[in-house]
């Protein structure tokens, strides 16, 4: 296994975004460089200047960025299913949304938390976990569940599509994680979503995978860990493979899940 098979292509110019989306640059202290995120605001955001809004953070997969998610996954076609919430799509490079113990400049977990503070400061958000969700696909699905487990005080709901949720099954050969985590299984477990399952007891959870996806055994292990702890969750296995077409087909279901969670908890 050498890489997760997501490819970049699309019809949008590199610096253009679909209608309703805006790209913003900011300086990340955690990464010590300028980063970009895309944001989509509810239709009534500017019409109701005193209202505060829930937020969903969407974490992309390997080989993607905030622009390619819109080109390839076509989130703009499903965003209406999210309802009245702000959607934020960070650019996470190839950092796997974690703080690497091997590479001191690769602090993408801290980067996400820092971005949340930035968004809460610059937009009229509801700044608490009950009004904040995280979703991701592939590498981003891994990141969504890892961050939700590491920081249960930050996210009230988490969901994953095709996420490698038990990375111990990838040890020690997966090249990107070996670069970020080294060759010690104990360290890999420290960054394993399944290891953090007990911390998700008060988080609304949904995850899915494909019948032919390499990550299916990992999702089964994650589900088994949650089940053993009597933690409720929604888990689905659909037809398909670990590819962008699968994410495009099912992302709307995840937006609808987060909409239900945010409406119930705000």
Please state the rounded mean pLDDT for residues 123-131: 97
How would residue 266 be classed by pLDDT, with cut points 50, 70 and 90?
low
Dist CA 166 CA 152 (whole Å):
18
In a domain, 202, yes or no: yes
Tell me which H or E stretch contains 35: strand 33-40
pTM: 0.94
For the cut 90, the answer to whether the pLDDT of residue 226 exceeds it is: yes
In a domain, 100, yes or no: yes
Checking if the pLDDT of 147 tops 50, the result is yes
Give yes or no for a contact between 205 and 247, defined as CB atoms under 8 angstroms apart: no
Q: Does some domain include residue 49? A: yes
Residue 16: band (very low, low, confident or very high) from pLDDT cuts 50, 70, 90? confident
User: Residue 160: enclosing H or E segment and its boundaries?
Assistant: strand 157-161
9 pLDDT more than 50: no
Q: What percent of the chain has pLDDT over 70?
A: 94
Rounded to whole angstroms, the Cα distance separating 184 from 186 reads 5
Query: What is the mean pLDDT of the segment spanning 42-62?
Result: 97
Model confidence at 255: pLDDT above 50: yes
Least confident of 1-15, 71-85, 139-153, 166-180: 1-15
Alpha carbon 255 to its chain centroid, in Å, reads 12
101 part of a folded domain: yes
Tokens of 128: 């608490």
Q: Give the number of other Cβ atoms within 10 Å of residue 11's Cβ.
A: 6
- For the ranges 1-15, 115-129, 252-266, the maximum mean pLDDT occurs at 115-129
Average pLDDT over residues 208-218: 98
**How many structural domains are present in the chain?**
1
Burial (CB count within 10 angstroms: exposed 0-12, middle 13-18, buried 19+), residue 156: buried
pLDDT of 155 above 60: yes
Domain assignment present for residue 10? The answer is no
- Sorting pLDDT into bands at 50, 70 and 90, what band is 218? very high
CA 103/CA 100 separation, integer angstroms: 5
Three-state SS at 51: coil
Residue 120: inside a domain, yes or no? yes
Q: Is residue 106 part of a domain?
A: yes
The model's pLDDT over 160-182, given as tens digits with 9 standing for 90+, comes to 999 999 999 999 999 999 999 99
Q: Mean pLDDT of all residues in the chain?
A: 93
Domain assignment of residue 171, given as a range: 21-265
**CATH number of the domain enclosing 125:** 3.40.50.1820
Report, as an integer, the average pLDDT of 33-58. 97
Given a cut of 80, whether residue 3 has pLDDT beyond it is: no
């Amino acid at each position: 296994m050498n890489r997760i098979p997501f490819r970049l292509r699309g019809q949008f110019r590199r610096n253009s975004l679909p209608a309703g989306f805006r790209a913003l640059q900011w300086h990340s202290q955690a990464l010590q460089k300028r980063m970009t995120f895309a944001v989509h605001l509810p239709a009534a955001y500017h019409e109701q200047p005193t209202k505060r809004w829930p937020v969903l953070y969407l974490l992309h997969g390997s080989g993607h960025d905030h622009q390619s998610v819109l080109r390839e996954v076509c989130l703009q076609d499903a965003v209406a299913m999210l309802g009245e919430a702000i959607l934020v799509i960070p650019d996470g490079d190839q950092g796997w949304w974690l703080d690497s113990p091997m590479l001191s400049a690769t602090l993408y977990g801290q980067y996400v938390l820092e971005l949340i503070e930035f968004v809460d400061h610059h937009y009229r958000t509801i700044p608490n976990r009950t009004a904040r969700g995280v979703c991701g696909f592939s590498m981003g699905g891994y990141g969504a569940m890892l961050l939700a487990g590491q920081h249960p005080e930050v996210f009230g709901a988490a969901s994953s599509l095709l996420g490698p949720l038990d990375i111990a099954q990838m040890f020690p050969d997966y090249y990107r994680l070996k670069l970020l985590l080294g060759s010690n299984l104990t360290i890999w477990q420290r960054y394993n979503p399944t290891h953090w399952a007990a911390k998700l007891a008060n988080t609304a959870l949904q995850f899915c995978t494909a019948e032919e996806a390499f990550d299916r055994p990992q999702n089964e292990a994650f589900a088994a860990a949650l089940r053993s702890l009597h933690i409720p969750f929604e888990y689905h296995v659909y037809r398909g493979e670990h590819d962008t077409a699968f994410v495009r087909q099912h992302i709307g279901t995840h937006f609808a899940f987060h909409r239900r969670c945010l409406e119930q908890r705000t």
